[in-house]
Structure 1
Amino acid sequence: MTDQAVPAIINLDVPGPVISRHLYGHFAEHLGRCIYDGFYVGEDSDIPNAGGIRLDVVEALRALNIPNLRWPGGCFADEYHWMDGIGPRDRRPAMVNTHWGNVEENNHFGTHEFMALCELLGAEPYISGNVGSGTVREMSDWVEYLTREGDSPMVRLRKANGREEPWRVRFWGLGNEAWGCGGHMSAEQYAAEARRFGTYCRDHGENKLYRIAAGANSDDYAWTETLMKQLGGLGCAYRPAAFMQALSMHYYTIPGTWQDKGDATVFDTGDYYRTMVQAARVDELITGHSAVMDCYDPGRNVGLVLDEWGTWWNVEPGTNPGFLYQQNTLRDALVASVHFDVFHRHADRLVMANIAQTVNVLQAMILTDPGSGALVLTPTYHVFEMNKGHQDAALLRIDLPAGVPDRAVESVRLPTVSMSASRKDGRVLISLSNLDAAETADIELDLRGGALTDVRSRILTSGGLQDHNTPEVPGIVAPRVHEQVKETASGLRVHLPVHSFVTVEGRLA
């Protein structure tokens, strides 16, 4: 270990806001091989399944304590008509998925299949309704179909399709990217639509809806302000209107241009550092949108939802450009670890985040091989698994009296050490990332107000930032025991190798 260390003070007895488990949410769109050949293989598949749902995918995601799953899109949500996806599969009308590959969608995976998937996962459903090409009645009927008990037209239809009892579905998205693929609306146009749709999406019985308005792209703070104005006036007397409970934002880490985003596996150190600068920018964006929201909602009654985030690279050579299939390297894992540290710091406003996407699309947890049927856990998957102890835990503030190391990346300084900590059920979890590709780092953890026993540590790293897992070699980037943690008079000293993610967990003494 090096002589110089970064001092970090953690008061173990001063818990902060709770880190919602929903910050570890996921996203599944009818896009490429996410649904078909990802989650859903059909009942006739040789791959073990339950009602067509792939069981090894379910098992892998359950190991993450997956809290929620957003569906059916994305852009697809605003051309999806849910009644086409219910009833006998052989009678469901097909459609063309105009957004993603211009391929035919047979609607074999619909509402009942999605709800069955959520039940297998133990995850809450987050349904995005069709505002772009749908109607208020269509979305209102969907809410009734899923959540109403007793007797009504939609209840009778649900029962005719084999489901007697209603489901519990809290999270509803009022459209998606209304500024773009969801209708190319102005903020004012969309705000009026959100008022209508939100009004007629009713609470049925004990099922209380949490309506999420389609929010801003990246740094469009004016969009956020327009939506906040719709909910009420300025100041401390702010009482949000009942037709929406949260608003969203989207941000993807793209170090290149929209036309040439960069390669998922072929990149140099300069590309890596530019990626990490873009990943770290999520803190600036969440801070900016939160500041706008604070002007109208100082009590923080309205939630902020980052329901699309992750890396976006050029598609893998030889694959359908509309399917957004990309590999996933150690670089992607470090993008995820940095995002989670930011999410934790904003736990008092940020109530949900959904990585894009869960299987076979963009920054996926899981890649499935169409030829062999093999399942690969990506480096990003392992960050989610190593961090799952933060779900519903109380944030512990980390003070850094000497700051952290940084590195010049073109015109900005990139902090190369990132960390966060939390406590729950008598245990503490500390996550630490060293983003530097050339220099190791040591962290001197000054633990106050308590001590840790039964300390265990794991590390995720590899020989190269470009390393990734494949069906042939599935464990190149995988967690292992980290031995370079030692007790000190004030706490712990943790060594961080280059480009590494480390977790330290212990029991409060």
Structure 2
Amino acid sequence: MGTDLTAVINLDLPGATISRHIYGHFAEHLGRCIYGGFWVGEDSDVPNVGGIRSDVVAALRAIAIPNLRWPGGCFADDYHWRDGVGPRDERPRMVNSHWGDVVEDNSFGTQEFMALCELLGADPYVSGNVGSGSVREMSEWIEYLTRGDDSPMATLRRQHGRDAPWRVPFWGIGNEAWGCGGNLRAEQFASLARQYATYVREHAGNDVYRIAAGANVDDYHWTETLMRSFDPLEDGEGRSAPFQGISLHYYTMTGPWSDKGSATEFGTEEWYRALARAAHMEHLLDRHGAVMDRYDPKKRVGLVVDEWGTWWNVEPGTDPGFLYQQNTLRDAVVASRHFDAFHRHAGRVVMANIAQTVNVLQAMILTDPETDALVLTPTYHVFAMNTGHHDADALDVHWRGEVPTSAVDDVELETLSASASTRGDTALVSLTNLDVEQDRTIVLDLRGRDLLKHTAQVLTGPTLSAHNTAAQPDAVASARHDGVRPHPRGLEVDLPAHSYVTVSLGLA
């Protein structure tokens, strides 16, 4: 490997804090995400705590899961919370019309979700029903969850076996209101969002961060309409009103919605196309951020990318409504590229939620319904390698030299990506080599603080489509990387082709 580029990092010039919540997750009543994923029931032979699968909890705790979004997604705007509380054998059933047209028995509801969050050590992010619900329904749900006295909903919660209120810091005001959440126009939803947010009250000292359903991909008009709906943002300090954040949804695929591409059967051309589509997230953050800056120069309103990730055709032989797909090295590199973008926009992006946590879309974990085996995906390992970025201060990475590119359709895709952060006497540098064939060597020009020690990890695979299965659970897994050497400017780092590398630094 020859030295190709130098990355200059000023370790003593920290920027915005990278919220740990950009490493958030999403669990919808969809396919085997909840049932067969998180929830196996108390009578299952699979080890569980109160029906919640223990090995799934342990795996997610190991990557310091910060928050979990539930119950959807499109499911949220068909979900009526009272159907999912109280004795399970008395809960009414419903039809999950969005995902497989299956009958939902509501055995996993509010109490089970909150128990899951407690086991995970994760903050709950509840998506309220605007599409088919009511203001009263949403108001009573947060009262049920968070009020501590003898109010009607607190009394109902106690009747269901929970005395103390829960803490619920994040609340979604609808989901995809431009589509499955009501097919509303931006102006219609902006008015509804103000109304519903008013009734998501803060009981018993529970501070709520209210997130209004935001734009689909590049609908900048939707973002602008929501920004216009805020109370004045230019003056004053503190929190914005009546809500505090707006969302953004964007999925990576290589084809149209009708044929999104295969999760495992792809070549070099589709590898690059997927990564070019993933890189489009940076453009979306720039453009939506510019709209938000126009109305909110102090960045009081947060951007929440609460659905992102790859969306491929379902695995052959599986229910098309269950969105089960394999997860390859390509998915891992898509994730690393997204995180670099989120780190660079840490001043505006306050949360992100990959879709979805177990058995659906770009999952962290796959569970085998026949053997009950648990498989950690390549994407899981990216999350594990990045825990050092949680609540760290972003550092700019300046390239000295020409960053290599590859022509993809009508864009030039940069085939090197990097981001960095610092916290206390440590720093973490993330480096992705998107090139299919070309190994690279990068000099890290580390300035402003003394380097005391370093360690590194690498994630790669023998093929672009390498993935983990019950038979080969570690085909793509992070490993110690010995290709890092001292250099007069700092460190010299080898980046194998199609790989992701993190370098942990100890600083004085």
SS at match of 1:376: strand
Match of 2:52 in 1: 53
Taking structure 1 as the reference length, what is the TM-score of the superposition? 0.98
Q: Deviations over 1:303-326 (max 9, x none)?
A: 000000000000000000000000
How far did 1:205 drift?
2.1
Distance 1:23 1:234, change over 3 A: closer
Aligned residues between the structures:
508
CA distance in 2, matches of 1:61, 1:366: 9
Mapping of 1:101-180 within 5 angstroms? Answer: 101-180=100-179
Are 1:489 and 2:493 matched, yes or no? no
Contact 2:240 2:301 in 1 (8 A): no
Question: What is the alpha-carbon distance in structure 1 between the residues aligned to residue 138 and residue 49 of structure 2?
Answer: 28
Q: Structure 2 counterpart of 1:123, which letter?
A: A
Structure 1 partner of 2:503 = 504
Displacement of 1:253? 0.4
| One-letter code aligned to 1:382 | H
Instruction: Give the corresponding residue for 2:270.
Output: 271
**Alpha-carbon separation, structure 1, partners of 2:384 and 2:110:** 28
RMSD between superposed Cα atoms in Å: 1.1
Distance (whole Å) between structure 2 residues aligned to residue 334 and residue 498 of structure 1: 11
Whichever residue aligns with residue 485 of structure 2, its letter is K
1:438 Cα offset (Å): 1.4
Alignment of 1:335-374 (within 5 A): 335-374=334-373
Partner SS for 1:372: coil
Q: Which residue of 2 aligns with 1:332?
A: 331
- Deviation at residue 440 of structure 1 after TM alignment: 1.1
Q: Are the counterparts in 2 of residues 236 and 298 from structure 1 also a CA contact under 8 Å?
A: no
Cα deviations by residue, 1:394-435 (Å, 9 ceiling, x for unpaired): 111111132411111122110000011111131111110000
* CA positional deviation for 1:347: 0.2
Answer yes or no: is 1:389 the counterpart of 2:394: no
1:291 corresponds in structure 2 to 290
Structure 1 position 235, deviation (Å): 4.8
Asked if 1:474 is matched to 2:470, the reply is no
Deviation at 1:268, TM superposition (A): 0.6
SS state of the match for residue 13, structure 1? coil
Match for residue 445 of structure 1?
444
Residues 232 and 239 of structure 1 are in contact (CA less than 8 Å); yes or no, is this contact kept in structure 2? no
- Consecutive unaligned residues of structure 1, counting only runs of 5 or more, are none
Q: 1:454 offset after TM fit, Å?
A: 2.5
* SS in structure 2 at match of 1:5: strand
Q: Is the 8 A contact 2:171 2:211 kept in 1?
A: yes
Task: Kindly provide the CA deviation profile for residues 2-47 of structure 1, in whole angstroms up to 9, marking residues without a partner as x.
Answer: 1x32111111111111100000000000000000000000000000
Give the structure-2-normalised TM-score. 0.99
How far 1:241 moved relative to its partner? 5.2
How far 1:233 moved relative to its partner?
A: 5.1
In structure 2, the partner of 1:89 is 88
Q: 1:8, 1:445 within 8 Å by CA — same for their partners in 2?
A: yes
SS in 2 for 1:144: helix
Q: Contact 2:21–2:351 (CA<8 Å) still a contact in 1? A: yes
**Alpha-carbon separation, structure 1, partners of 2:283 and 2:366:** 31
Could you tell me how far 1:242 is from its partner in structure 2? 2.2
Indicate the SS of the match to 1:400. strand
CA–CA distance in 1 between the matches of 2:381 and 2:363?
11
The one-letter code matched in structure 2 to 1:282 is: M
Distance, in Å, in 2 between the alignment partners of 1:56 and 1:97 is 27
Partners of 1:127 and 1:153 lie apart in 2 by 21
Unaligned runs of 5+ in 2: none
In the TM superposition, 1:226-305 aligns within 5 A as 226-232=225-231, 235=234, 242-305=241-304
| Secondary structure class of the residue paired with 1:196 | helix
> In 2, are the aligned partners of 1:236 and 1:297 still within 8 Å (CA)?
no
Residues in 2 aligned to 1:167 and 1:376: alpha-carbon distance in whole angstroms:
31
User: Retained in 2: the 8 A contact 1:232–1:238?
Assistant: no
Amino acid paired to 1:78: D
Question: Is 2:449 the counterpart of 1:411?
Answer: no
Secondary structure of the structure 1 residue equivalent to 2:13: strand
Q: Tell me which residue corresponds to 2:14.
A: 15
CA contact (8 A) 1:95 1:104 kept: yes
- Of 235-244 and 332-341, the range deviating more from structure 2: 235-244
Runs of 4+ with deviation above 4 angstroms:
233-241
SS at match of 1:231: coil
